[in-house]
Amino acid sequence: MKLPRNFFKPLAIGAPAPYRELPVRLERMIHFVPPHMEKMRAKVPDLAKQVDVALGNLEDAIPIDAKEAARSGFIEMARNVDFGSTGLWTRINALNSPWALDDIIDVVAAIGNKLDVIMLPKVDGPWDIAYLDQLLAQLEAKHAIGKPILIHAILETAEGVKNVEAIAAASPRMHGMSLGPADLAASRAMKTTRVGGGHPDYMVLADPEGDKPRAGYQQDLWHYTVGKMVDACAANAIKPFYGPFGDFADLAACESQFRNAFLQGCVGAWSLHPTQIAIAKKVYSPDPGEVAFALKILEAMPDGAGAVMIDGKMQDDATWKQAKVIVDLAKLVSEKDAEMAKVYGL
Ligand code: GLV
Ligand code: MG
């Protein structure tokens, strides 16, 4: 294991010092753009105003014969668009693919100073993070990149889930993690054919009562993995995200899946279709009623200690901390979104 005193040292001479705290950023949705398509690239200047993070996807869903076009298309879009406070990310190909090395080398060389985060798919263990960490430090030094490029892992292999805590703790370059339910289902040999969401057969059947029809209650297939991911991330002060929801027509199910993840501790989700941007905005911005109540708690307990009753409910140090999470998030949303600032009264 690396010595604690070496953990925050740059891994190459001339690379920027790793962050000790993650930059504070609103990342309610990571919006996926297929950068090999000119029509899609043309929408990015507008899109950058609507989303919190714009991600150029180089991995799955990009046809093999378009891998190079996606890489150069991403570089072009990164160069030409002013992203303002919107995050600029890319999802590179998996480290065992023939494209990953050129993805990393070409993208960092061309637009490393604009790139916030590299999303790394199919992460099996901390060794994958260590490889990318070292390579990024060398490239940052070579190209005089001013701030560290962060790594976001996709949790989408059974081995990755087994090693999730070591992955979260692997490097100060870790930004967070997303659940990748499609690849994870395949890796685990789950008997589904979906990209995220529930399954009608994954349910608990109510006890029999004579001849009455028995109710069945659908359960959340992803509860265990999201819980495990949230704990690994929270324990290491990095950010957990729900990943993709593939049924673009089922807005209600998408919202419900995003919301379960939000309530469990996730801070955002992927949007693969424009309709999912609004869903993520709604779900991952705190509810105005909750914000109003949280503000009351903070006001009633200025030093965050003791116990008070508000609307018949007991509040103490622990609810004060929960209220602070909600109010801090509402403030972050308000900085980006003047309409929400009015709704929250902030
Ligand atoms: C995402 O990459 C997934 O496999 O779900
Ligand atoms: Mg995947």
pLDDT on residue 296: 95
Same domain, yes or no: 235 and 299: no
Per-residue pLDDT reduced to its tens digit, 82-137: 999 999 999 999 999 999 999 999 999 999 999 999 999 999 999 999 999 999 99
Same-domain pairing of 171 and 318: no
Measured from the CB, is residue 182 less than 6 Å from ligand 1? yes
SS3 at position 286: coil
Ligand 1 touching residue 52 (CB < 6 A): no
- Domain end (from 234, 254, 284): 284
The β-bridge relationship of strands 53-57 and 29-33 is parallel
Domain boundary (264, 284, 304) is at 284
1, pLDDT greater than 80: no
Q: What is the number of domains present in the chain?
A: 2
Same domain (yes/no): 269, 339: no
Q: Which of 184, 193, 245 to mutate to test the pocket of ligand 1 (most atoms within 8 A of CB)?
A: 184
> pLDDT above 70 covers what percent of the chain?
100
Neighbours of ion ligand 2 (CB under 5 A): 156, 180, 183
Tell me what pLDDT residue 336 has.
87
pLDDT by residue (tens digit) across 168-207?
999 999 999 999 999 999 999 999 999 999 999 999 999 9
DSSP string, 175-193: EEEEE-HHHHHHHTT-S--
Model confidence pLDDT, tens digit, residues 126-169: 999 999 999 999 999 999 999 999 999 999 999 999 999 999 99
CATH number of the domain that residue 42 is part of: 3.20.20.60
Q: Is the same domain home to 101 and 177?
A: yes
**Backbone angle region of 152, left / alpha / beta, with phi > 0 → left and psi within -120 to 50 → alpha:** beta
Same-domain check for residues 272 and 294: no
Instruction: Tell whether 277 and 324 lie within a shared domain.
Output: no
Quote the ligand 2 centre to 292 CA distance (angstroms): 38
Average pLDDT across the chain, whole number: 96
Coil, strand or helix at 28: coil
Do residue 161 and residue 252 come from a single domain? yes
Domain that holds residue 170: 4-284
- pLDDT above 90 covers a percentage of the chain that reads 97
Q: Are residues 140 and 67 located together in one domain of the fold?
A: yes
Say yes or no: CB of residue 59 within 6 Å of ligand 1: no
For 312-322, letters b (16+ CB in 10 Å) and e give eeebeeebbee
| Sign of the torsion formed by the C-alpha atoms of 228, 235, 123 and 247 | positive
Ligand 1 neighbour 160 (Cβ under 6 A): no
- Residue-wise DSSP of 1-20: ---GGGTTS-SSTTSPPPPS
| Residue with CA closest to ligand 1 atom 1 | 180
Query: 248 and 315 share a domain?
Result: no
Q: Rg of the chain's alpha carbons, rounded to an integer?
A: 21
